[in-house]
Amino acid sequence: MQLVDTHCHLTFPQYDQDRDEVIEAVFSSGIVWVLNACSHISDLPKMKDLRDKYPDKVFLSIGIHPHYASQVGAVEFSQVEKELDEGGFVAIGEVGIDLFRNEARLEDQINLLVWFIKVAKDRGLPLIFHCRDAEKELLSVLDDLDVKGGFVVHCFSGGVGFAKDVLDRGGMLSFTANCTYKKSEPIREAIKFVPLDRIMLETDSPYLPPQSQRGKRNDPRAVIEVAKMVAELKSMQLEKVAEITTGNAERFFRGEDGC
């Protein structure tokens, strides 16, 4: 059985004391590869070091989290373009809109998101979207820019309604171990609703550990708990869930699913 973690942050400070040990344990556990998602371009040196140390096991995206949208400008945009010219990235992200913490002005978040969507279109790369309390706003941007496919809403935390909206626009949905939380019934209903060929699995490590590990640091090994929940909710064999979701991730991030 092969699983992948399509969204984690192994370069974050939570791993500074034992990063290599964690990563070795992850790959020894049967995880085939992970995608280390970019939150800010300041992450990139550590991210590229990981990619070089674990070729074909650590893949990278490039993006700027919406929390930083009011702090970036031409210098950062130029650096993103330069990094993309040099290559080595399989996706754009994470980018999006976050109205839960409101750490940046909505106008700035939208402008940043629009810029990255256009870059993704130009480069033929898939998009990883962050969306928190901003479903209407994200969908509006997608419709304005005629985005149809080539994107995933990561750490999906909506219900069936938003899931349908994403599917209608050709998107994928990625689920984390928050689907195991007691109050996450809307997420579990969304998992039941979404066809398995539109689902990917992730951990968003070091955040969102499974219910049994609440309060502890998460890592990509927890993707097995997400797979188990999906299998339970869909009344499927765990091995089949792993096979299909891993195939989805292979095609999306290493195939030709750019927007």
The packing angle between helices 238-254 and 223-234, to 10°, is: 120
Report the chain's mean pLDDT, rounded to a whole number.
96
Is residue 51 pLDDT above 50, yes or no?
yes
Cα(259)–Cα(255) distance, integer angstroms: 12
Q: Which domains does the chain have, with CATH numbers?
A: 3-254 (3.20.20.140)
pLDDT at position 254, please?
A: 79
pLDDT at position 102, please?
A: 87
- Structure-block tokens of residue 21: 């040990």
Are the C-beta atoms of residues 114 and 107 closer than 8 Å to each other? Answer: no
- Structure-block tokens of residue 224: 């097995």
pLDDT at position 259, please?
A: 44
User: Which residues have C-beta within 8 Å of that of residue 258, sequence separation ≥ 6?
Assistant: 120, 121, 123, 124, 125, 126, 150
Q: Per residue in 222-232, pLDDT tens?
A: 999 999 999 99
Q: Per residue in 175-200, pLDDT tens?
A: 999 999 999 999 999 999 999 999 99
pLDDT at position 188, please?
A: 98
pLDDT at position 256, please?
A: 52
Q: How confident is the model at residue 205 (pLDDT cuts 50, 70, 90)?
A: very high
**What is the rounded average pLDDT of the residues 125-152?**
98
pLDDT at position 257, please?
A: 55
**What is the rounded average pLDDT of the residues 131-142?**
98
pTM here is: 0.97
